[in-house]
Chain A
Amino acid sequence: MVPQLSWYLALSAVLFTIGVVGVMIKRNVISMFMCIELMLNAVNLTFVAFSSFFRDVTGQLFVFIVMTVAAAEAAVGLGIIITIFRSRESLDVDDESVLKL
């Protein structure tokens, strides 16, 4: 029995949903950041599955670009997190509802 395209799409949907749930129930900024990474990976799985089943390399190129965006997001996001931690001494999102430093 060969895995169908729908299997991969269902797995991707499940992973994306877990990431959304994590963003909603987590209160730590770094944990929410990791849940966003999980959502990006779920979308990447969809891209690769479609690329493989339709034999078109475009999907994998999009995955490549999404990974670059994720790396840039990690650099800038973690820099923002460190700056916020320096001024607030906390990583709880409820303490950071005001953006003014």
Chain B
Amino acid sequence: MLALLFILFAGMAVGCAISMVAQRNPLYSAISLIGVFLALACLYVTLGAPFIAAVQVIVYAGAIMVLVVFVIMLLNVEEEDRPMRLRSLTPIAVGLAAALFAETAFIIFFVHWSPATPTASVSDVGLTSSIGAGLFTTYLLPFEVTSILLLMAIVGAMTLASRAGLLPREAVVVPGYQVLAREVLDPRTTPDLTPIVARSTGEVEEALGVEEAPQITDES
């Protein structure tokens, strides 16, 4: 029964992974990656790790992939064209793939013949309480370092997001002669469509008859 479940979910994971690499539209490959995550979560349940399975679904399939899909849709990614390149490296790639398959086969058969064959069993290893106890006693330092890492990630993401404005690179703000509507400069006045022609802040103050010009922010 467990073997059948393993074969089912392993097939689902490998199929979704191959589909993810084969798709040219990034949105489709993101959805395939969500399939891989869900299959892996099911495998974690069969391995007796329900907490990790739940976190896998919530954090990976929920948070991270929502972020990725959001960025894909924000940037309006088009399908990629794939011109053939690095064709000269094909024999090397075939050789490396053969070596990898040989290593995998070696691992499978060698582990099968090893005397110690541990088996999965029902225990309290994967439960939330044991994970929490381990996290807050033995591995407290990595836990705290992880929190610092998250803080750095937050600061870094905010810095990256706020450094470049939405203006394109070739946009320039021309200083000097500008024509602005009167209500833009002084919200206290009644709506008046007479424009103010000014060359500097002092001229705006004179035209409006105010002592302190209102704050005008530009995007430069």
Contact = CB atoms under 8 A, between A and B. Distances in A.
Majority secondary structure, B binding face: helix
Interface string B100-114: 100110011001100
Nearest to A40: B60
Contact of A67 (B48, B60, B143): B60
A56 B37 CA distance: 23
A4 B142 contact: no
> Interface size class for chain A?
35 or more
A76 B40 contact: no
A28 B77 contact: yes
Nearest to B145: A65
B220 interface: no
Contacts of A44: 40, 52, 56
Interface in B78-136: 80, 82, 100, 103-104, 107-108, 111-112, 117-121, 123, 125-126, 130-131, 134-135
A25 B68 CA distance: 19
Interface residues of B, number: 75
Interface string A27-56: 110110111011001001100110111111
A45 B40 contact: yes
A7 B131 CA distance: 25
Interface stretch (B150-158, B184-192, B209-217): B150-158
Nearest to B3: A1
A10 B49 contact: no
Interface in A56-81: 56-58, 60-61, 63-65, 67-76, 78-81
Nearest to B74: A82
B13 A72 contact: no
B110 to A, nearest CB: 8
A52 B157 contact: no
Nearest to A25: B21
Nearest to A21: B21
Contacts of A86: 164
Interface of A: 1-11, 13-15, 17-19, 21-22, 25-28, 30-31, 33-35, 37-38, 41, 44-45, 48-49, 51-58, 60-61, 63-65, 67-76, 78-83, 85-87, 91-92, 101
Given A52-B120, A76-B156, A82-B161, 5 more contacts: A51-B126, A57-B126, A64-B135, A78-B67, A81-B75
